[in-house]
Amino acid sequence: MPEQETAAHRRTPAQEVAGFLRDRQEQIAQRWADAALFRTVFTHSRDEAVEAGRAVVDALAAVATAEAVEDAESGGFHVVRDQLARTAASRARAGSSITDISREVDALRPPVTELFLAEFPDAPAEHVRECTTTLTVLMGTLRLVVLETALSEGEEVIHRQRLQLLEVATPVIKLWEGIVAVPLIGTLDSARSQVVMETLLDSIVEQHARFAILDITGVPTVDSLVAQHLMKTVAAARLMGAECIVSGIRPPIAQTIVHLGIDLSSVLTRASLADALAYALRQQGADIVAREGAGSEYR
């Protein structure tokens, strides 16, 4: 490189790109507003899209100034991370796949490169090449950030749904004075069984329950871990003075438990929830009998 290059060309490629982004912020934002990514998200007004574009250009300029064009964690991106996440989420809701979104972010690059090349028609080719490479890397990092936020948004949703399931799937129902029941549904992993135990023990105290029925009709697989959880729950309820009945043991499950070799003889079991309720009522001195004079149709 000759010694007598102009001041502008002594800037590093990243600084050059940062300066360009700042100078041409408005033009880039205007062009982006017509790109699929912004156009489809900000459908109400074009001004909104331009505004969003300006914020992203600002962020990119900040990242370039920090000489961190390859760093997706760069502080410059923090400002627009939420906005990018909303954009990605909005595209995902509209049915775009991650690949679609990636392609749409990629489509933001050509207009910027075009503007950049038009800006420096006379600069040394070597310098321009370095700068466009830097710009390309920067836009690649932007794409990475968008995809990252899109994916973490998905993980967030899954996590929330898991938590919701924990709560939803374990209602404790008061069947009668002193009798509560938990209809267990789905997989009884450690986290779920812990929630079941806690809510059941709480409701035993609240309802002054003497009988607690654990109905496993909705549990597809009873292996040794599930059995262990059941036995622990039964033992804990017993310590609190409530008798536990496990109901809803279907024939295949019963045969499997026998083959598995698990000894459930310490646990009171009944085939159906109705049997368990009838047992608990009888233990309390109540019986379900047909009303006198009620016809046989109610039998």
Partner 1 sequence: MQTAGGVSACLPIHSDLDLVWVRQHVRQAAAQLGFGLVEQTKLVTAASELARNTLIHGGGGQMECAPVAAGGVQGLRLAFSDEGPGIPDLDRALMDGFTSGEGLGMGLGGARRLVHDFKIDSRPGGGTTVTVTTWLSVPPRPREER
Footprint on this chain of partner 1 (rule: CB under 8 A): 187, 189-190, 220-225, 227-228, 251-253, 255-256, 259-262
Least distance between partner 1 and beta carbon 135 (Å): 40
When the beta carbons of 232 and 282 are compared against partner 1, the nearer one is 232
**Helix H or strand E segment including 84:** helix 75-93
| Residues with Cβ within 8 Å of residue 74, at least 6 apart in sequence | 62, 63, 66, 68, 141
When the beta carbons of 124 and 154 are compared against partner 1, the nearer one is 154
Rounded distance between C-alpha atoms, residue 12 and residue 6, angstroms: 13
When the beta carbons of 139 and 169 are compared against partner 1, the nearer one is 169
Rounded distance between C-alpha atoms, residue 194 and residue 82, angstroms: 35
Least distance between partner 1 and beta carbon 96 (Å): 26
When the beta carbons of 37 and 188 are compared against partner 1, the nearer one is 188
Per residue in 85-116, is it b (16+ CB within 10 Å) or e — as a string?
bebbbebbeeebeeeebbebbeebbebbeebb
- Give the closest residue to 17 by CA, choosing from 155, 157, 123: 123
Rounded distance between C-alpha atoms, residue 193 and residue 232, angstroms: 10
Least distance between partner 1 and beta carbon 259 (Å): 5
Least distance between partner 1 and beta carbon 233 (Å): 14
Place of tokens 């040794």: 224
Least distance between partner 1 and beta carbon 228 (Å): 5
Map residue 224 onto helix, strand or coil.
helix
When the beta carbons of 261 and 285 are compared against partner 1, the nearer one is 261
When the beta carbons of 44 and 259 are compared against partner 1, the nearer one is 259
Least distance between partner 1 and beta carbon 224 (Å): 4
Burial of 9 (0-12, 13-18, 19+ CB in 10 A): middle
